[in-house]
């Protein structure tokens, strides 16, 4: 289970990225209200889905578990789906909600 390692790496932006392959998002914990930023490496974190019976559209999806820094151990499960051009087409969340206003605070 590499969950915690991967989550930690989400927050330590020590390695500078020359190109932006990350899909960034923010969620708010439904229990304590903490806003947690997450990001997805669209080169490495996506699983391919060939669609139904071979004639569906190829899409990509990824599932993330986010846990905040507060003393609240709510696990927020995020599922993101992208089309073949890796644009977001669908997203689901449990344990929190998406917050769209938070953007690129690292820059």
């999806």: which residue's tokens?
A: 61
Which part of the chain contacts Zn ion (CB under 5 A), choosing from 7-15, 18-26, 52-60, 61-69?
A: 61-69
Q: Minimum distance from CB of 4 to Zn ion (Å)?
A: 16
Q: How far apart are the first and last CA of the chain?
A: 31
Say whether residue 42 binds Zn ion (CB under 5 A).
no
Please give the Cα distance from 97 to 87 (Å, whole number): 20
Both structure tokens of 93:
């969340």
Say whether residue 29 binds Zn ion (CB under 5 A).
yes
Interface residue list for Zn ion (CB under 5 A): 29, 31-32, 34, 68, 72, 74
């Amino acid at each position: 289970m590499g969950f915690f390692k991967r989550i930690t790496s989400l927050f330590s932006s020590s390695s500078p990225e020359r190109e932006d392959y990350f899909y960034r998002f923010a969620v708010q914990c439904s229990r304590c209200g903490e806003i947690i930023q997450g990001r997805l490496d669209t080169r490495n974190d996506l699983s391919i889905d060939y669609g139904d019976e071979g004639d569906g559209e190829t899409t990509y999806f990824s599932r993330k578990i986010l846990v905040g820094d507060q003393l609240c151990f709510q696990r927020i499960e995020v599922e993101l789906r992208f089309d073949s051009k890796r644009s977001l087409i669908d997203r689901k969340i449990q344990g929190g909600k998406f917050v769209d206003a938070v953007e690129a605070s690292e820059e």
